[in-house]
Amino acid sequence: MKLLSIEDETQLSKTICQMLRKEGYVVDEITDGEIGLEMALFGSYDLIILDWLLPNIDGLTIVKELRMQGIAIPILFLTTNNRIEDKVDGLDAGADDYLVKPFFTEELLARLRALSRRKSKELVDNNLMVAGLILDTLKCNVSKGRDFIKLSRKETLLLETLMRNCGNVVTKERIFERLWGSYSRNEFANVDLYIYYLRKKIGTSYIKTVRGVGYYLENNSGIS
Ligand code: CA
């Protein structure tokens, strides 16, 4: 699960993001509305946590803009406004849920889980079927023929990215951004390492290397 957090209260933002990372989410942490909107438009996120009052562009405008551009990522609004009109405005603009500050982190987590479940249902049982592989993105396992292989969360995210782009090269930069987030201090070489882990688990014939560029999942590999 890759998540974008747009919240300008630095301390609160840090607390939220640290907790989410502990829970296994990959999180990009943004404190400015304008940058946040851009990231939401061009990054590939599964969920967005969005504050109401933000520098440069406010949360309500961000939701409206995203929905206008046809971006359907689930959005959880954070707001200090307990006024019913504000909640209605947020939901009307296209937010999926809201949480009034201050809140308990457990509640935030529960709501995010609910939102991602709702989204997963729309994606037909979380199963991706490509190139002879069936990936369950929620349970983190892949089956090929009679083999059933358990994957780590990162391996699942990696395979999902390759499957969704089957036949097309996915650059190392994009994989890195998807697995660790744009602002991660992780080593870039980790991409190759995770490709190695994944190949070790699913077999070496599926993922092809394009030297110096990235990797792709071969269209008909694994089908005999
Ligand atoms: Ca704020």
Centroid of ligand 1 to alpha carbon of 58 (angstroms)? 9
- Which pTM does this prediction carry? 0.59
Centroid of ligand 1 to alpha carbon of 19 (angstroms)? 19
Centroid of ligand 1 to alpha carbon of 22 (angstroms)? 23
Instruction: Give the range of the structural domain holding residue 75, as residue numbers without chain letter.
Output: 2-122
Centroid of ligand 1 to alpha carbon of 132 (angstroms)? 47
Q: Are 162 and 215 in contact (CB under 8 A)?
A: yes
Q: Please check whether residue 223 lies inside any domain of the structure.
A: no
- pLDDT tens digit at each of 224 positions of the chain: 899 999 999 999 999 999 999 999 999 999 999 999 999 988 778 899 999 999 999 999 999 988 877 777 899 999 887 777 878 888 888 899 999 988 998 999 999 999 888 765 554 456 788 888 989 887 889 998 888 999 998 999 899 989 988 888 999 998 998 888 776 778 888 999 999 999 999 999 999 999 999 999 987 644 43
Q: Please check whether residue 146 lies inside any domain of the structure.
A: yes
Centroid of ligand 1 to alpha carbon of 8 (angstroms)? 5
Q: What is the pLDDT of residue 220?
A: 66
- Number of domains forming the structure of the chain: 2
Residue 26 CB neighbours (<10 A): 21
DSSP classification of residue 103: -
Outline where the chain has alpha helix (H). 10-22, 33-42, 59-68, 84-93, 105-122, 153-164, 172-180, 190-202
Residues contacting 168, CB < 8 A, separation 6+: 216
24 and 90 housed in the same domain: yes
Centroid of ligand 1 to alpha carbon of 72 (angstroms)? 23
Q: Please check whether residue 222 lies inside any domain of the structure.
A: no
103 and 136 housed in the same domain: no
Q: SS3 of 145, please?
A: coil
